[in-house]
Amino acid sequence: MSSPIKPLHLGNRTFPVNIIQGPLAGVSCAPFRRLAWQYSEPAFSCTEMISCKTLLYQPKLAEQRFTVKDPNEGPVCFQLSSNDPQELAEATRRVTELGADLIDLNCGCPVKKIRGKGAGSSLLVQPEKIYQLIQAMKQNTHVPVSIKIRVEGNSDETFNLEIAQAVSDAGADFLVVHGRHWTEGYDIPCRYDQIQFFVEAVKIPVIGNGDIKDHESLKKMFATGCAGVMIGRAGVGQPWLIRQLIAEIQQESYQLPTLKEIGALLIDHVSQLSILLNSEKFALLQARNFSKYYARTVENKIDFIQKMHQCHTLAQFTQLCHGYFTL
């Protein structure tokens, strides 16, 4: 059987591989993405979801965190959030100037605050609005554009067909599909059949997303016929994962890092974050979102997480890590 790892053609860009590191709010700013590039080589990685209002009306805040690119990272997809075509058009021009390699619109976020603003997954039942939003991006940038959606899943909502039509008509360059309904938590199995529906319903490349964490789950996602895959949570705390998966698919061996090395990565991540945010306090607050992923194999993981919540300085945090990431 031929390898599913192939070059990925999206609009006017070609990437050497078809595995992407996806967007994760509270995690995927520049220090996280730099690590992904140091230890793997994804096709590209994504920013956290960036509100167009923040980008346009609080540019200082956006420039301090959301739109910063690390000189040592590869291509970046800027993910935007909006429900207003005009605002999105302006934001698209802005992130293109800032060096976005691709631009994605979030149409899957289930968070109440985002849905309440008419953005994220609330757009899924508004195919005409989605059409206008994609057009607003297409008309204001030369880089490939996409939307990232959830699916009908097991819900009563039906929108898969209409969204496929809107995405095709509006001329998106690719489509990212997370195989769950927005009401479904991560304990509900990903709907591969609905990802496959999109693969068959649209002519543009589809990127499959949901629960990819190892060789088996990677093969299962590629079996939908998707052109590429996107990794979410499994890439956090395992920046080497994409390289490991590619090695395994190619039947090459891969030397996993030791627990001590993983601890050093976590310290590096938080240190870089404190430089980016110019604040140890904010870096440690943000580290609460992702330390648990680094601590997957730590004995007394719960104990570690509880204690990290009490760290007020990077020095305390570093000392704590040295105590737990010891094997």
Ligand X SMILES: Cc1cc2nc3c(=O)[nH]c(=O)nc-3n(C[C@H](O)[C@H](O)[C@H](O)COP(=O)(O)O)c2cc1C
Count of other CB atoms within 10 angstroms of residue 225: 13
CA distances from 195 to 127, 128, 263 (A): 18, 21, 36
Binding piece for ligand X, criterion CB under 6 A, among 8-16, 91-99, 102-110, 298-306: 102-110
**Cβ closer to ligand X: 109 or 277?**
109
Binding piece for ligand X, criterion CB under 6 A, among 154-162, 165-173, 203-211, 241-249: 203-211
Task: Identify residues 244-303 at the interface with ligand X (CB under 6 A).
Answer: none
**Cβ closer to ligand X: 199 or 264?**
199
What letter does residue 236 receive in the DSSP assignment?
Answer: T
CA 226 to chain centre: 17
Applying CB under 6 A, among 18, 21, 23, 273 the residue interacting with ligand X is 23
Task: Identify residues 29-58 at the interface with ligand X (CB under 6 A).
Answer: 48-49
Least CB distance to ligand X at residue 234 (A): 6
Applying CB under 6 A, among 79, 82, 135, 141 the residue interacting with ligand X is 79
**Cβ closer to ligand X: 155 or 316?**
155
Q: 316: burial class by Cβ within 10 Å (0-12, 13-18, 19+)?
A: middle
25 binds ligand X (CB under 6 A): yes
**Cβ closer to ligand X: 220 or 233?**
233
Size of the site for ligand X (CB under 6 A): 21
For residue 152, which of 187, 119, 115, 178 has the smallest C-alpha distance? 178
Q: In the chain, which ranges are E strands?
A: 8-10, 13-15, 19-21, 45-51, 76-81, 102-107, 145-150, 174-178, 206-209, 228-231
Cβ neighbours for 108, distance < 8 A, ≥ 6 positions apart: 120, 121, 124, 148, 149, 150, 178, 182
Are 76 and 33 in contact, with CB atoms under 8 Å apart? yes
Least CB distance to ligand X at residue 135 (A): 20
Task: Identify residues 139-158 at the interface with ligand X (CB under 6 A).
Answer: 148
**Cβ closer to ligand X: 109 or 163?**
109
Count of other CB atoms within 10 angstroms of residue 319: 12
Binding-residue pattern over the window 105 to 144 for ligand X, x denoting contact by CB under 6 A: -x-xx-----------------------------------
SS3 67: coil
Tokens of 212: 């990819």
**Cβ closer to ligand X: 149 or 265?**
149
Whole-angstrom distance, CA of residue 156 vs CA of residue 272: 44
- How large is the greatest C-alpha to C-alpha distance in the chain, in angstroms? 56
Least CB distance to ligand X at residue 182 (A): 11
Least CB distance to ligand X at residue 186 (A): 6
Catalytic residues: 109
Q: DSSP assignment of 166-205, as one string?
A: HHHHHT-SEEEEESS-TT--TTSPP-HHHHHHHHHH-SS-
Least CB distance to ligand X at residue 33 (A): 13
Least CB distance to ligand X at residue 53 (A): 15
Binding piece for ligand X, criterion CB under 6 A, among 22-30, 152-160, 258-266, 314-322: 22-30
Binding piece for ligand X, criterion CB under 6 A, among 23-31, 159-167, 219-227, 239-247: 23-31
Residues near ligand X (CB under 6 A) = 22-26, 48-49, 79, 106, 108-109, 148, 178, 209-212, 231-234
